[in-house]
Amino acid sequence: MVIEPEAIDVALQQQGLNWLEVEGFRDAITKLPVKHDLSIVADACDVNAQRFTDRITAGLEGWPWSGCSMISEHKADQHHPVVAMASILAKEERDRRINAMSDRVGFEVGSGYPSDPATKSALHRLVLQEGIDAQVRWGWATVERFWSEHLTGDVPVRGVQRTEQRRLFHTDSSSIS
């Protein structure tokens, strides 16, 4: 399961990242081929791990399923090998997508992390006054900082059409009498 950059940007404008994570976990769990005798462990994305579990399970039809349990823990990848493996697979998928983006745009975009000089350099070609590449998180603090330092106006917001300020009255006179 992959959550696209646009979905992250929209979630940050609306319900927040924690709810996007809850929905992502729900979708992944719902797609499991078996709905019985499962022990589900999640790496808690909420400061309150039990609340994270409760929010996920509240949206699972028919929960609790027969013989199933679910827990959420902070740093679950350090205590549960299956969560550690899922984390590794997620990072590998992220790397594949970053490499595919480099191939698509025809230049190196770096690792995608804000501390990477290659990523910072790529922003000059991915973040333009005319718009931001679709695979870039528009609401990413690094993009917002780059925009304010190198471009004019407000950073575009996903789902919101950019408009230009227009004059209400066209007159050469400084008064409206």
**145 domain-assigned:** yes
Q: What is the pLDDT, as a whole number, of residue 68?
A: 96
Range of the domain at 136: 85-150
**90 domain-assigned:** yes
Identify which of 61, 44, 65 has the alpha carbon closest to the alpha carbon of residue 53. Answer: 44
pTM: 0.78
Mark which of 57, 79, 101 sits at the end of a domain. 79
Q: How many domains does the chain have?
A: 2
Same domain, 92 and 75: no
Identify which of 136, 72, 153, 60 has the alpha carbon closest to the alpha carbon of residue 98. Answer: 136
Cα Rg of the chain, angstroms: 22
Structure tokens at 173: 């006179």
Q: Say how far apart CA 105 and CA 24 lie, in whole Å.
A: 28
Q: What is the pLDDT, as a whole number, of residue 158?
A: 85
Same domain, 90 and 141: yes
- What's 29's domain CATH number? 3.30.420.10
Residue 57 neighbours by CB under 8 Å, 6+ apart: 63, 64, 70
User: What is the average pLDDT value for the chain, to the nearest integer?
Assistant: 90
Mark which of 79, 98, 130 sits at the end of a domain. 79
- Give the containing element (helix H, strand E) for 58: helix 49-58
Tens of pLDDT along 93-141?
999 999 999 999 999 999 999 999 999 999 999 999 988 999 999 999 9
Sequence length of the chain is 177
Same domain, 92 and 73: no
In the chain, the DSSP E strands lie at 39-43, 69-73, 127-128, 131-132
**109 domain-assigned:** yes
- Please answer whether residues 122 and 108 qualify as being in contact, where contact means their C-beta atoms are separated by less than 8 angstroms: yes
What's the pLDDT band for 161 if we cut at 50, 70, 90? low
Same domain, 46 and 89: no
- Give the containing element (helix H, strand E) for 102: helix 81-105
Same domain, 29 and 69: yes
Structure tokens at 32: 């499991």
Mark which of 61, 79, 97 sits at the end of a domain. 79
Which residues does residue 72 pair with via DSSP β-bridges, in sequence order? 42
SS3 34: coil
Q: Say how far apart CA 155 and CA 147 lie, in whole Å.
A: 6
